[in-house]
Structure 1
Amino acid sequence: MPTFTLLVSEPSEPHVDEAAAAVRARYVDSYLSDVRRGDVIATDWTLYEIEMYDAANPEQPPLMDEIRGLHLPAAA
């Protein structure tokens, strides 16, 4: 019977950071697309997913804060 050996290695930090940035960007893009289309149900679902993402990644800055910041006027 064949045996398998699990080789565990630490992920490369730059790759992890790139992946996290891509996920965050995808959530922001989904949110903006939902708002542009006026799809309230999709917008609420995306906001729910963002809340779950923030809860699962407490070591990162909250993505929900960035979403809220999209609606604030820019400082001159």
Structure 2
Amino acid sequence: MTYWRAIEIHHLPAHIIPIHEDCQSDEDKPYDVKEILGRVEKELILSALATYNNRTNAMKALGISRRAFYDKLRRYGIEV
């Protein structure tokens, strides 16, 4: 039996992807996917750190390598 751990939109906190005029789709205002994914990734890292109170357990819960974890901490300016 395969178990998929998927994060869906209803799992995310409401403040990550606010619904207002700036985020609504139209031809003149395309989504900035990198920026949105960056915000989501940063929130997930902060949430994992708060939940597990431990960097090793947080990176395991996120399913990312130690190197990737520390790269992301630097990229998002997260101090632990």
Question: Could you tell me the TM-score, scaled by structure 2's length?
Answer: 0.40
Greater Cα radius of gyration, structure 1 or 2: 1
RCO greater where, 1 or 2, for CA within 8 Å and sep 6 or more? 1
Question: Could you tell me the TM-score, scaled by structure 1's length?
Answer: 0.41
Question: Which is helix-richer, 1 or 2?
Answer: 1
